[in-house]
Structure 1
């Protein structure tokens, strides 16, 4: 079983990564969200 400090360190890392992913995906910041390409016009 892990001790408490190891668990907390891992938890903080996980939360930090989740926050970075959220910002990268644009869900945290709508102004930075890239438009999705739903249909290709190049045929």
Structure 2
């Protein structure tokens, strides 16, 4: 059971790291962000 918990924590940390990276990348160059499809409908 402890092994499963450890694996889960590893996965969560990995996901958080990726999310952090994506956040920084998006802020760095907003021009490269793809537009949300939601917004393209209200022209």
Q: TM-score band, normalised by the shorter chain? A: 0.5 to 0.7
Distance 2:18 2:10 in 1: 12
Q: TM-score, normalised by structure 2?
A: 0.57
Stretches of structure 1 lacking an aligned partner (at least 5 in a row): 27-31, 37-43
Stretches of structure 2 lacking an aligned partner (at least 5 in a row): 33-43
Distance 2:17 2:4 in 1: 20
Name segments (4+ residues, structure 1) moved above 6 Å: none
Q: Number of aligned residue pairs: give it.
A: 30
| Structure with greater Cα Rg | 1
Q: TM-score, normalised by structure 1?
A: 0.57
| Higher relative helix content | 2
